[in-house]
Chain A
Amino acid sequence: MDTGKKIAVAAVSIVLILLALGMAYYGYKLDLVEEQVFDVPWGLDVVGYTFFALMATGSSIVNSVYTIFGYSGPNGEYKKIIKYGVWFSLSTIFSAWLLVLLGIYKPFDFYYILLFFRLSSRIAWMAAFYSFFALMLVIELLYMILVESWDLLRRIKYLELAIAILVLIATIAVHSNLGEVFGSLISMPAWYGSWLALYFIMSAIMLGAAGQSLFIYVVKHRDNNLKSFMSRYYSEVYLISIPVYLMYLTWIIISAWYSRETIWPVYQTLLFGGEAVIFWGVEMLIGIFIPLALAIYGYIKKSSWAAITAAVLLIIGGFMSKYSLIVLPQELRPYVWLTLQISNFSYFPPTGLLMMFIGACILWPSLYALGALIFPLEEGEKPKHLWIFK
């Protein structure tokens, strides 16, 4: 890519970033004056946040295959993409943060969480773990960049591994805790329980792999060997994660069937009721079965288009499943008073939240692109300016 092009792309992505932020903020402002959706306090904002958070953390899990388990491909292809993978995690987390911040009613007071930290609150810990996670990612990325030009670092034994392990710990902490943000609510039987943490890890891996693979394809679309490696590698990841996820989901549904009164209505609507089309059509067929088939094909044939399509579909399906998981139980919220009552509310995201979400979606690739342009993320590429930039 020649310099002029680079500058142009950089400019565009900067503009897009600003646009995204502005849009999201406008959406937030709009949401304040819009009529509140009291029945579903956690709407699209929380869904999108969860979605991006899982993708970011999942991507670092995938990275750990190289950073911790030291798998670098038949002839070291992984080295070519690992920095991009790390940067993907880091850049994606910003979209999540944008949504979660503007999702709260007074975003500029968010630091109260750290000021008046309540240990029993999962959201409080969320904040803590995020800071830790982001911090570790930055360190990891810096290490990877600096190590190219700074022999001292290479000399420190196990430093790389230590950082990688910390990153992995942070990752697990983040999305298992994220699971318990929902899982610890006795008020929401459909969320309640420790299973959500595991469920999130599973779907995180799928989302993470899909996400980073997409973005890396974009950058590396010229390198054919790499592409065939990636196709096989990511298909592999899908082939491992999808069946486990599927099995897990089945058990969730089966166990839900046993609490007929409170939880089952949710899954009933999902499986046979109003949401059936979305569940079977989008979450299952588009989100699971087709990608699975494509993954098999992509693995055998090393076909990059199969892997790419699979990635896209996985992301769509992944998002929709998070949507149903978070919104549906709120629509069908059980109250036990004189008799059991299940609230019946149909939620459509208000304009404000939609704008926030779209903003986050724009921010996501633009930030990544900008980073890909200014950071030396190629294998063996040395930083030229200010120690860390190209």
Chain B
Amino acid sequence: MASDSKEKIDVARRDFIKITGSAVVAAGIVYAIGAAEGKFSFNLLSLQTDYEQPLPGYSYTYSPTMCGICSSVCDALVYIEQKGSYVRAVEIDGNPNSSLNFGKLCARGRSGTMITYNKDRIKKPLIRTGPKGTWSFKEATWDEAISYIKQKMQELNVQPWEIAMGGGAIPCANYRPELIPFMMASQIPNMAGSPMQPCLFGEQLGINLTVGSFDAHGLDLVDDFEYSPVIVIWGSNGNPAGVFVNKGARFGKGLENGAYVIVIDPRVSEAASKADLWIPAKPGSDLALAMGMINYLIQNSYYDDNFVRYYTDSPFLGYEENGVIHPYVSSYDDGTVKAFKVYDEITGKIVDVPPFTNTNAYTVNGRRIIPALHVSGLQTPDGKTLKTFFDFLSDRVSGFSIDYVSSVSGVEKSLIEQFYKKVALASPVEIGTGLRGAQGSYTTQWRRATAIIMALKGSIDVRGGWLYSGAWRESAYQLYQAYNSAVNSGQIKPGILIQRPEVLMSVPVMNLPGQMMEYVATALVFNNPNFWKHGHPSVVAAYNSTLTSQGLKPAAAYSLFPDTGIYEAINNKVQWNNQPYNIKMVMTCCVNPAKDMQESEWKEILSNTFVVMIDVLPTDTTLYADVILPDATYIERDEPITDRGATPDSGYRKRWQAVPRVYPYAIPELDTFVLLSYELGFFEEYITTMANVLGLPADKLISAMENEMKPFLNQLNSTGTYPVWGEFTGKAFNDVQSALIASKLNVQPEDVMNQLKTQGVITVNTWEDYVANKMRVPWDIPAGLPTGRIEVYSTILYYYVVKNYGYDRTWDPLLQYVPPDWNGGYAVTPGTYQAPQAPYNDPKFVPAPPEFFHVEYKVPQIAYIYTADIPVLYALTSNSYHKNILQYIWMNKEVGQSMGINEGDWIVVTNKITGAKIAAKVHLTEMIRPDTIGVPMPWGQSNPAQSYSINSLESFGNKAVTEIWTRSYDPLTGHRMIQQFTVTVRKATASEISEFTATAEASTELPSQEDVTPNYSNSTEGGV
């Protein structure tokens, strides 16, 4: 093809060379004319011109899709070129119809085609031939691979609970409705969520508990930066600039509208570069900073009295018993909550308010009241002093004066004052949540504090504050109706949701509003032994009970899918019913989930288990896989219709397959899972559960699935390859879903699919509609939380965590100061609180070189580590003009020079607790606190199979930052306390440099060398 095009040109040349002679003569004459024209050139004979038009004969189409690179899941359009049977994706744009990302995409999303056409791709099933930790595989057919897996499982006699799935943000944001049912049907109770699950979950739980979302990665809450006068970005490289397009695009609009931007980050992150006020708060001081803010708001009455009084649980009465605040309630005989009590300012009496509703304006009998925020001299019949949660709150924060906060956070008083004042005087405010927030055990309380600030400002579900996503709102409304009908029909007595599981169970679990979904999944499913036929709960729960039985604290009291317990199970530290709880097999899917676990631990886990990986690229973890199954990239998939993600609009969208699969052995993972269920004989349960969790008709889905699956299965069995077009799971779902949606919107199913095919999205309700329909939360309908109010006092923490595990300030239901506890606290040994020695026990502590605090951050060009192997993205970060900024470890210039360290030197960073080391080159800069070093996340590759990102060894050693993470867990969320330790820094020795720049050994040919010819042909004989 290319060659004929060259031909063409040559021909063109020869033609006019013949007449060149005459031309030259003529040229002389025409010079004058040319000059006269004023156009300083002229073209005597028209030579073939080219302004970079593509080669002739190509036609162009586009296909909407959903980006599958990070959990922002942006709406995208794939631009496709076609000539004869040749098809190729040219580029990927954002979808301008999208109210999620407004037609914008980040560098990763833009480079999506470079994943699909990446020469490093896993092209065939691979079976390990050499020792773990090396690249040594042999190609296999799917048949061989599957039977090998089966055989190994028999050899090892793997029981369902002995399998740990590895998922993470990608499947969580994309495939929750398919993967959770798979686990339920296959009776596998273990899912280690990652990448960044330990971080995101730990970070967001505080917010989720307060407002009812499951906002692990920006799904349920919309940061409405666009309309906020004051924007606060809090955390290491806040995800608006991290970059999370659905937040970044709104952040950009906010900047355009002249919002006052405050960024709290020890370094000048991309987000901080946009700040009007940059607060380089000391790592570990965030909670103090936040509690100071609450104190400031309450002391100066800068809070939204109406919102706090009527729409939060602040006026509820409670009493304190040895440090624990208990709600003062009236109960039924079964001990469940009948009503909460508030003090009515009209009648001056204590009255009952309903357990689940959106407002405190009425008693259980529907009488209008004015609940008091401050009370005095009230007592329970048995003489305990009663206070409102609001009063308790103001007591708890009373110590955090601006002076104290300034001394703790190491930031000038004036800056903090300005910060507080700006937030206090603006309404609404928008506290964008950062990424990488799992700093320490104080994280949950800190995030609750930020959510409480939002509540105090009344900035919840108002333009310019936190909006709920359309999908979340719909499900909250559905739950509200379910509750009402259950109560009205007398099935249940009024109560708080977590004490009315029948209500929760009456709604398809995936349609529950985030926090209730999370509660059901955690408390009633994965941590509940009775849910599982084999009587084993998740390894997390088992590990918790093991620890508590030893009188210790749990390792993840309330957490969905942490990696907690797996490492310990490998080391026989986990018991269930006095039997050791083993993990024999690990099965990961989607983009390198293990990579964001503690590095030496995931290496040990994967080395000691039978590991099956479903992946697209040869990530570092594949060095430890026993079987690698090739996955299709997201533009090669054709998937179920889903909701609209983190946008206030509700509606539908879908991932369409844009191009034929480039490698005929790659199977889209949803199909893989269904095929596995078929192979392992739980097909029907699987499909039924999928239907149930989504509220789809099971029988229809099963029959659709069977019909669509046949041809795919046939080809796989007959030829060993998979059809390059189509995906039966998606097809089956679409058959069922389109019919349902069509009937809901009273159109034809074809219209639904057609609209999705041309426009990519269907909008059913917009924010404006919801305002009009009175569906704002909690203004009009209850929040998806046990009490239906915004929970300043978290009933889940009280009725689930405190009741099960006793009290700890880490999970104080209201708000409690948790000190940084550097090199101590829960960061040393799981379940054990170690009082930190001096000076680490003093929140005012500042390390002196060579000791530093440590922060880590995302590089906007690279979302998850695997995207570092996309050639364009790697080139972006290795650009000479900012390679040092994006690939090196940041250190303050003066400090560095005082230590005799120069720009570009190799340094070794050592964790004070564990002694673990990472090495990298150093970037000396004025953009970071003198007492802190900043480590970029994406680096630490050692797998030679990654042709591009392996070059990062020039800048960053072969161990990722997770290597220096703590080897312990937060007792509540199970996250790693990634700032609760200090590090020491020194120049690297020559031997260390060579050790840290070594690549893993490769004894067999790398994927880039495999001779599997890529397929660009739109061949229908392969298609279905």
A108-124 CB contacts (< 8 Å) to partner B: 111-112, 114-121
A115 to B45, CA, bound (A): 9
Q: Name the residue of chain A whose CB is nearest to the CB of B881.
A: A341
Chain A interface residues (CB < 8 Å from chain B): 111-112, 114-121
Our pick among B20, B24, B41, B45 for the contact of A119 (Cβ within 8 Å) is: B41
- What is the 8 Å Cβ interface bit string for chain B, positions 16-42, against chain A (1 contact, 0 not)? 000010011001000100110000111
Interface size on B, residues (CB 8 A): 14
Q: Considering the chains assembled together, what is the distance between the CA atoms of A116 and B42 in angstroms?
A: 6
Asked whether, in the complex, the Cβ of A119 is within 8 Å of the Cβ of B23, the reply is no
Give the complex CA separation of A121 and B35 in angstroms: 12
B3 within 8 A of A: no
Is B43 engaged at the interface, CB distance under 8 Å to the other chain? Answer: yes
Q: Are B44 and A116 in contact (CB-based, < 8 A)?
A: yes
Complex interface: chain B residues within 8 A of A114 (CB): 24, 27
- Could you tell me if A118 and B27 are in contact, using CB atoms closer than 8 angstroms? no
Q: Are B43 and A118 in contact (CB under 8 A)?
A: no
A111 to B40 alpha-carbon distance, docked (Å): 18
Cα of A116 to Cα of B23 in the assembled complex, Å: 10
A280–chain B nearest beta-carbon distance, Å: 32
**In the complex, residue of chain B having the shortest beta-carbon distance to the beta carbon of A124:** B41
B22 smallest CB distance to A (angstroms): 11
Residue of A115, A120, A121 contacting most chain B CB atoms (<10 Å):
A115
Contact B20–A115 (Cβ < 8 Å): yes
Q: What is the CB-to-nearest-CB distance from B23 to chain A, in angstroms, rounded to a whole number?
A: 6
Closest 7 CB pairs of A and B: A118-B41, A120-B40, A119-B40, A118-B40, A119-B35, A114-B24, A116-B43
A121 and B45 alpha carbons, distance in the complex (Å): 20
Distance from B395 Cβ to chain A, minimum over Cβ atoms (Å)? 51
Collect the chain A residues with CB atoms within 8 Å of residue B23's CB: 115
Q: How many angstroms from the CA of A58 to the CA of B886 in the assembled complex?
A: 54
Q: Is the CB of A115 within 8 A of B44?
A: yes
Q: What is the CB-to-nearest-CB distance from B778 to chain A, in angstroms, rounded to a whole number?
A: 47
Min CB distance A77 to B, Å, is 41
Asked whether, in the complex, the Cβ of B20 is within 8 Å of the Cβ of A117, the reply is: no
7 more contacts with CB within 8 A, not counting A115-B23, A115-B24, A120-B41, are A111-B20, A111-B24, A112-B47, A115-B44, A116-B41, A117-B34, A119-B41
Return chain B residues, CB-CB under 8 Å to A121.
40
Instruction: Tell which of A111, A112, A118, A119 has the most Cβ of chain B within 10 Å.
Output: A119
Q: Could you mark each residue 349-383 of chain B with 1 if its beta carbon is under 8 Å from any beta carbon of chain A, else 0?
A: 00000000000000000000000000000000000
Residue pairs across A and B with CB atoms within 8 Å: the count is 32
Quick check: B44 and A119 within 8 Å, CB to CB?
Answer: no
Q: Which residues of A contact B43 (CB under 8 A)?
A: 116
Question: Which residue of the partner chain A has the closest CB to B23?
Answer: A115
| Cα(A62)–Cα(B305), bound, Å | 97
Residues in A whose Cβ lies below 8 Å from that of B27: 114-115, 117
Residues of A within 8 A of B45 (CB): 115
Q: Provide a sorted-by-A list of 14 A–B residue pairs whose CB atoms are within 8 angstroms.
A: A111-B24, A112-B47, A114-B24, A115-B44, A116-B41, A116-B42, A116-B44, A116-B47, A117-B41, A117-B42, A118-B40, A119-B41, A120-B40, A121-B40
Measured between beta carbons, the chain A residues less than 8 angstroms from B31 are: 117, 119
- A112 contacts which chain B residues (CB < 8 A)? 47
How far in angstroms is the closest Cβ of chain B from A93? 20
A118's nearest neighbour on chain B, judged by CB, is B41
The residues of B that contact A117 with a CB separation of less than 8 Å are 27, 31, 34, 41-42
Q: CB-nearest residue of chain A relative to B24?
A: A114
Q: How far is the CB of A186 from chain B (nearest CB, A)?
A: 17
Considering the chains assembled together, what is the distance between the CA atoms of A116 and B20 in angstroms? Answer: 11
Nearest residue (CB) in B for A131 is B24
Q: Which residues of A contact B40 (CB under 8 A)?
A: 118-121
User: In the complex, A119→B20 CA distance in Å?
Assistant: 19
Quick one: closest B residue to A115, CB to CB? B23
Could you say which residues of chain A place their CB within 8 Å of the CB of B41? 116-120
CB B337 to nearest CB in A, in angstroms, measures 61
Docked Cα-Cα span, A33 to B491, in Å, equals 81
- Bound CA span A119–B27, Å: 12
**A273 nearest CB across to chain B (Å):** 22
Q: How far is the CA of A217 from the CA of B41 in the complex (A)?
A: 47
The complex places the Cα of A114 from the Cα of B42 at a distance, in Å, of 11
B24 cross-chain contacts in A, Cβ below 8 A: 111, 114-115
User: Chain B contacts of A118 at CB under 8 A?
Assistant: 40-41
In the bound complex, what is the Cα–Cα distance between A117 and B617 (angstroms)?
Answer: 52
The docked-state distance in angstroms from the alpha carbon of A229 to that of B41 is 51
User: Cα distance A9–B35 when bound, in Å?
Assistant: 50
Within 8 A of A (CB), among B38-57: 40-45, 47
Cα separation A111 to B47 with both chains bound (whole Å): 13
Minimum distance in angstroms from A245 CB to a CB of chain B: 34
Query: How close is A219's CB to chain B, nearest CB, in angstroms?
Result: 37
A119 to chain B, nearest CB (A): 5
Closest residue to B34 on the A side, CB-wise?
A: A119
Complex alpha-carbon distance, A120 and B39, angstroms: 10
- CB-CB < 8 A to B44: which residues of A? 115-116
Within 8 A of A (CB), among B749-777: none
| Cα separation A118 to B41 with both chains bound (whole Å) | 4
Within the assembled complex, what's the spacing in Å between the Cα atoms of A91 and B44? 33
In the complex the two chains form, what is the Cα distance from A225 to B23 in whole Å? 52
Tell me how far the C-beta of A333 lies from the nearest C-beta in chain B, rounded to whole angstroms: 15
Tell me the complex Cα distance, A116–B31, Å: 10
* Minimum C-beta distance from B380 to chain A (A): 66
User: What's the minimum C-beta distance from A208 to chain B, rounded to whole angstroms?
Assistant: 29
**In the assembly, what is the distance between CA of A331 and CA of B44, in Å?**
38
A118 to B27 alpha-carbon distance, docked (Å): 11
How many Å lie between the Cα of A117 and that of B37 in the bound state?
13
Specify which chain B residues have a CB less than 8 angstroms from the CB of A120 in the assembled complex: 40-41
B47 CB contacts on chain A under 8 angstroms: 112, 115-116
What residues on B are CB-neighbors of A115 within 8 Å? 20, 23-24, 27, 44-45, 47
Chain A residues near B42 (CB-CB < 8 A): 116-117
Give the docked Cα–Cα distance between A118 and B37 (Å): 12
CB proximity of A123 to chain B, nearest CB, Å: 13
Alpha-carbon gap, A114 to B34, bound state (A): 13
- Bitwise, B65-105 to A at CB < 8 A (1) or not (0) is 00000000000000000000000000000000000000000
Expressed in whole angstroms, the minimum distance between the Cβ of B13 and any Cβ of chain A is 8
Closest to B44 in A: A115
Closest to B37 in A: A119
A335 to B24, CA, bound (A): 39
How far is it, in angstroms, between the C-alpha of A320 and the C-alpha of B34 when the chains are bound? 39
A114–B20 alpha-carbon span in the complex (Å): 10
| Residue of A with least CB distance to B13 | A109
Measured between alpha carbons, how far is A2 from B583 in the docked complex, in Å?
A: 100
Q: How far is the CA of A116 from the CA of B24 in the complex (A)?
A: 9
- Interchain CA distance A118-B44 in the complex, whole Å: 12
Which residues of B954-970 are within 8 A (CB) of A? none
CA distance A116 to B35 in the complex (A): 13
Complex: chain B residue closest to A109, CB-CB? B13
Residues of A within 8 A of B34 (CB): 117, 119
